[in-house]
Amino acid sequence: MCPAQSRFHRVEGKAACIIAVLVLSTAFPVLADETFIQRVNPSIVCHNQDVTIAIWQSQSTVLSVDYKRTPAALIVDGRRWLRLPSNIQSSIALSAYCRVSLVDATGKLEVLNQGGNLLGVVSKGQWRNRITGK
């Protein structure tokens, strides 16, 4: 049963649904358009994560983040990175991934040392340390 049939009880069957859709799409054009989702501002959504990256940049652990590259890359000082506990490495990598996920939820972020060696990957929101496998 079409939800509109109770309002248009004198109109039978499919006609009630068609009238209801026409009325709704005229009154609320956004409902008829599937692309009404607005882009979010990364500096608002990823504010806390940006602060985390800034803190580790000030400690010279994070050297840069390259979001223009495919996949995106977090460039770190290899020695300092390897001295960090795995939960801190994960936190930093996931913080950098925040902006990637806004563009593509299935996107990737690679963590590289300054020589370009892969230290880990964040893919689909999951951190994978290349050295430990966790």
Tell whether 7 and 49 lie within a shared domain. no
Tell whether 106 and 84 lie within a shared domain. yes
Tell whether 55 and 121 lie within a shared domain. yes
Residue 89 domain flag: yes
Residue span of the structural domain in which 92 resides = 42-129
What's the number of domains the chain is made of?
Answer: 2
Is a pLDDT exceeding 60 seen at residue 25?
A: no
How far is Cα 117 from Cα 77, in angstroms, rounded to an integer?
11
How far is Cα 16 from Cα 13, in angstroms, rounded to an integer?
6
The mean pLDDT of the chain is 79
SS3 110: strand
Residue 26 domain flag: yes
What's the average model confidence in pLDDT over 111-131? 93
**Range of weakest confidence among 41-50, 56-65, 72-81:** 41-50
pLDDT band at 34 (very low <50, low <70, confident <90, very high): low
SS3 93: helix
Kindly state the percentage of the chain with pLDDT values over 70.
72
Is a pLDDT exceeding 60 seen at residue 97?
A: yes
Residue 37 domain flag: no
Give the H or E element holding residue 78. helix 78-83
Given 3-state DSSP classes, what are the helix, strand and coil percentages for the chain, each rounded to the nearest 5?
Answer: 45, 20, 35
Tell whether 25 and 52 lie within a shared domain. no
Residue 46 domain flag: yes
Residue 25 domain flag: yes
pLDDT band at 35 (very low <50, low <70, confident <90, very high): low
Torsion of CA 14, 19, 22, 26, to 10 degrees: -160
pLDDT band at 24 (very low <50, low <70, confident <90, very high): very low
What's the average model confidence in pLDDT over 66-92? 95
Tell whether 18 and 79 lie within a shared domain. no
Tell whether 14 and 49 lie within a shared domain. no
Please, which residues bridge with residue 64 across strands? 75
pLDDT band at 8 (very low <50, low <70, confident <90, very high): very low
Identify the pLDDT of residue 47: 92
Tell whether 27 and 52 lie within a shared domain. no
SS3 108: strand
